[in-house]
Structure 1
Amino acid sequence: AGCCAQMVGFAVMSFRENGWGGLVAQGVGTSMLQMPNIVKNPRIWIPPTLASAITGPMATCLFRLEMNGTAVSSGMGTCGFVGQIGVYTGWVNDIASGAKTAITAMDWAGLVLICFVLPAVLSWAFCALLRKWGWIRENDLKLEM
């Protein structure tokens, strides 16, 4: 949940500066592309970090999402959708072992909300507030590609 919030958060926050290429590069690639910008203005890290703080507990306490795939999947976020594939693999393994009878609509809703929708909405909202306060300025999130 935390890695997804960083990747999706930076992708959505920087859409006005980076367009579709930046959205895909950060959202399905890596948010580490923003590292030079974080060094210049660490405040740009606040919105996705707040989104992480909200979605992490929701993932475990509300939706009971678990990473049951390979351990390496845990820190991958949305990079190549490895994290989501890891969660899905865990669901399939649980069904095969008899620990779960089926993948439910609530499972899918949790995965989509925690990995994509909430990080996008929360990071965008927090970023808008920080832009209003002048903490994040135009081109603070611009990628040099």
Structure 2
Amino acid sequence: MRTLLKRWFIDSMSFMALGLFSSLLIGLIIKTIGTYVPMLSELIPVGELAMSLTGAAIGASIAYGLKAHPLVIFSAVTVGYSAYEFGGVAGSFIAVLVATELSRLYAGRTKLDILISPILTIIIGFLVGKFVGPYIAKLMTSLGSFVNFAVEQNPFIMGMLVALVFGITLTAPISSAALAVIIDIDGLAAAAAVIGCCCHMVGLALMSYKDNGSSGVLSIGLGTSMLQVANIIKNPWIILPPSIASIIVAPIMTVFFPMLNNSAGAGMGTSGLVGQIMAIETMGPNMTTYILITVFHLILPGVVTYAFYKVLFNARLIKPGDQVLNLGNE
């Protein structure tokens, strides 16, 4: 059972995030660049095309991540695309996951595999996408709507909670990006989620500078804080400073300096600067937006996290070498 849960909720979501990044998120970035840079306006349809293929990218990424048979992977492109039309991201996820897992019963097992695998995979995925996908999507979006409403009603407490959950999810081997898109949070709640992610990315990057140098800072700060998972398992104190920073910085924003974001940026933090680009897309390219991004996505997450890190470092709860990354350079 533990293996299945890992496949369904960790492996599949992690690879789905790659599919989302390669289609929806990159498409949004390209479209945003085309929108705000007049001389590059021809990029707008390119971005829209990438976004339109989100379901197909989800299909291929999940099937590949679950090590499906090649014919199943290629068929999952169709499954993901069709299911996206019925139930969005959540619909694609459940349809591809079910089709891929059931394909283990027949893929590569007969002499007619070149016919059987694609036919069964596409039919199974289509049926799940059409008849189950919409209900899953409605359930997930209802959850997102509740989160959005809760943050609007109680920006202090819920801002803290959303930032904490998404920050930890980003660093854990679960995809915060996939979670944010599946439940479709936006507005103030998405902005709080971004701050939680930024605290973990910017904060952990600065915390590990002495152990990893500038390459480590860039890998964590612009890549993913998930690189520190192995070190956090060895020394759980490492995750405390960015978690504390999340619950301090987020409510300052939600209560006094409300920002907005969307589901595409909510779970990304500073990864590829997607959280910041989506903030500009949502709030507009103006000086106020740039100042708020600088303060709440970069300065405060870094300063507050580092301050608590120094407390733990001086108490010898975090020691030199505890945060060394294995980036494959040795």
Distance, in Å, in 1 between the alignment partners of 2:289 and 2:280 is: 9
Amino acid at match of 1:88: I
2:253, 2:259 within 8 Å by CA — same for their partners in 1? yes
Question: How far apart are 1:73 and its partner, in Å?
Answer: 1.3
1:83 aligned residue? 275
Question: How far apart are 1:52 and its partner, in Å?
Answer: 0.7
2:255 aligned residue? 61
Amino acid at match of 2:300: L
Same amino acid, percent of matched pairs: 38
Match among 205, 216, 221 for residue 22 of structure 1: 216
Relative contact order (C-alpha < 8 Å, sep 6+): which is higher? 1
Name which one, 1 or 2, has greater alpha-carbon Rg.
Answer: 2
RMSD: 1.2
Distance, in Å, in 2 between the alignment partners of 1:124 and 1:57 is: 19
Name structure 2 gaps, 5 residues minimum: 1-194
1:117 aligned residue? 299
Amino acid at match of 1:142: V
Amino acid at match of 2:242: P
2:196, 2:246 within 8 Å by CA — same for their partners in 1? yes
Match among 35, 38, 41 for residue 235 of structure 2: 41
1:11, 1:23 within 8 Å by CA — same for their partners in 2? yes
Q: List per-residue Cα deviations over 1:61-99 (Å, max 9, x = no partner).
A: 2221111x4x1211100000000111100123xxxxxxx
Amino acid at match of 1:119: P
User: Alignment partner of 2:255: what SS?
Assistant: helix
Distance, in Å, in 2 between the alignment partners of 1:11 and 1:125 is: 13
Moved more, 105-114 or 17-26: 105-114
1:130 aligned residue? 312
Number of residue equivalences: 133
Distance, in Å, in 2 between the alignment partners of 1:106 and 1:73 is: 18
2:279, 2:289 within 8 Å by CA — same for their partners in 1? no
Question: How far apart are 1:10 and its partner, in Å?
Answer: 0.4
Amino acid at match of 1:5: C
Question: How far apart are 1:117 and its partner, in Å?
Answer: 0.6
Distance, in Å, in 2 between the alignment partners of 1:32 and 1:62 is: 30
Distance, in Å, in 2 between the alignment partners of 1:14 and 1:42 is: 14
Distance, in Å, in 2 between the alignment partners of 1:80 and 1:134 is: 33
Distance, in Å, in 2 between the alignment partners of 1:91 and 1:131 is: 38
Distance, in Å, in 2 between the alignment partners of 1:119 and 1:80 is: 17
Name structure 1 gaps, 5 residues minimum: 93-101
2:280, 2:289 within 8 Å by CA — same for their partners in 1? no
Question: How far apart are 1:106 and its partner, in Å?
Answer: 3.5
